[in-house]
Amino acid sequence: MKSRLKPDHRALAESLRMRTLEGPGETEPALRKAVAACAAGEDGPGDATGQSPYYALARQIGEAAFRTTDAQVAEVVEATGSEKGGFEIILTAAVGAGLVRWQCGLRAVEGATDASA
Amino acid sequence: MRLPEVERGDSFGSRLLIRLISTVSGMRLPDAARVAFYHKKFGGELSSWTQAAMRGSSSWTIGERELMAAMVARWNSCNFCIGAHRAIAMKQLPDATVEATLKDYRAAPIGSGLQATLVFLEKLTLHPRELTSEDAQAVFQAGVSRDALTDAVAVASIFNMITRYADALDFAIPSTQEFDRAGDMLLKRGYASR
């Protein structure tokens, strides 16, 4: 697969954000936005209590995904009513954690002076 | 794999494709590929960005970008992604360089630009909100351009997503030989599944 054009990372990141957080799916966009924010380490609805299985899983994925348990995933699949819904929550949490890194990294790069430019 | 539907495929076409590729390659199709075939309308944008960042034009070689992916996986303790991207990096860079970098990138025989970039990417992965323009400045001073650092930030951000869903879904870990063969496929076909 050839792909040698210079990527427009900003546009690609925005397309990913729009599709994952605002596009159609088995789960509601409002829920996905809250899950992404929670995985990114931001306060969100339910964040303070951590009682919702969505936010418990999102926080786990954001902080230490390798410690995710079968029970955490099973609870979210049950709450969404389908494996596709559970998949959307997992992917959205991962995207939320990645996009906050993209934004922090980009901000640092854009704020610095490139002597070679 | 914690979602059986991802493992077996969610349509007749994807189930057939999973079986066909597994048969032709002589190995179980890795879970990363099964995810790419699942619920395609939802996850397609991530595949597109991954393909662009890992195989699109960049001043970083494919081997260097795969090494960055393996390092993000190491910082996030994602064994599947360490194995997968270590194997691909080793097809593009000397084995000893890849192993030394994964062991201690600050002491590895890599260029000062790549080393400075990895310092930035480690902070981006572990403490993203603490990144400052001074951190970027230090990378520029090592001879890395703004475009190149932006490319590296994209690679690291994407693998901060992939490592997380790989672990949340509990990807099965292939053998060393299977990682090696899967690496050949990823070099030949890339990351775009759609």
Residues 86-115 of B with CB under 8 A from A: none
Instruction: Tell me the three state secondary structure of residue B59.
Output: coil
**Pairs of residues, one from chain A and one from chain B, whose beta carbons lie less than 8 Å apart:** 201
Q: Using one digit for the tens of pLDDT, what is the confidence trace for B105-114?
A: 999 999 999 9
Mean of pLDDT over chain A: 90
Residue B194's pLDDT is: 45
Q: Which residues contact B19 (CB under 8 A, 6 or more apart)?
A: none
Question: Chain centroid to CA B125: how far?
Answer: 14
Q: Using one digit for the tens of pLDDT, what is the confidence trace for A8-29?
A: 999 999 999 999 999 999 999 9
8 Å CB contact between B55 and A5: no
Query: Looking at chain B, which residue has its C-alpha nearest residue A58?
Result: B168
Confidence of residue A113 (pLDDT cuts 50, 70, 90): confident
Residue B192's pLDDT is: 74
Residue B105 neighbours by CB distance under 10 Å: 19
Query: Looking at chain A, which residue has its C-alpha nearest residue B59?
Result: A6
B3 and A77: CB-CB below 8 Å?
A: yes
B124 and A104: CB-CB below 8 Å?
A: yes
- Mean pLDDT over B37-51 rounds to 92
Residue A48's pLDDT is: 44
ipTM of the complex: 0.94
Domain boundaries, chain B: 58-189
Q: Which two tokens stand for residue A109?
A: 């790069």
Q: Which residues contact A75 (CB under 8 A, 6 or more apart)?
A: A53, A56, A57
Residue A2's pLDDT is: 46
Nearest to B191 by CA among B144, B155, B160, B164: B155
Q: Cα(B35)–Cα(B31) distance, rounded to whole angstroms? A: 6
Domain boundaries, chain A: 26-110
Q: Where do runs of H (alpha helix) occur along A1-82?
A: 9-17, 29-39, 53-64, 70-80
Q: Using one digit for the tens of pLDDT, what is the confidence trace for B69-110?
A: 999 999 999 999 999 999 999 999 999 999 999 999 999 999
Contacts of A116 in chain B (CB under 8 A): 140, 143, 145
- Mean pLDDT over B18-39 rounds to 92
Q: Using one digit for the tens of pLDDT, what is the confidence trace for B128-172?
A: 999 999 999 999 999 999 999 999 999 999 999 999 999 999 999
Residue B44's pLDDT is: 87
Find the helix or strand (DSSP H, E) in which B151 lies.
Answer: helix B146-168
Q: Using one digit for the tens of pLDDT, what is the confidence trace for B108-132?
A: 999 999 999 999 999 999 999 999 9
DSSP3 helix / strand / coil % (chain B, rounded to 5): 75, 0, 25
8 Å CB contact between A89 and A80: yes
8 Å CB contact between B108 and B101: yes
Considering the domain B58-189, what is its CATH architecture?
Answer: Up-down Bundle (1.20)
DSSP A21: I
Contacts of A7 in chain B (CB under 8 A): 49, 52-53, 56-58, 151, 154
Measured CA distances, B73 to A66, B2, B82, B99, B157 (Å)? 11, 20, 5, 14, 11
Residue B11's pLDDT is: 92
Mutate to test the interface with A, among B7, B45, B50 (most CBs of A within 10 A): B45
8 Å CB contact between B92 and B66: yes
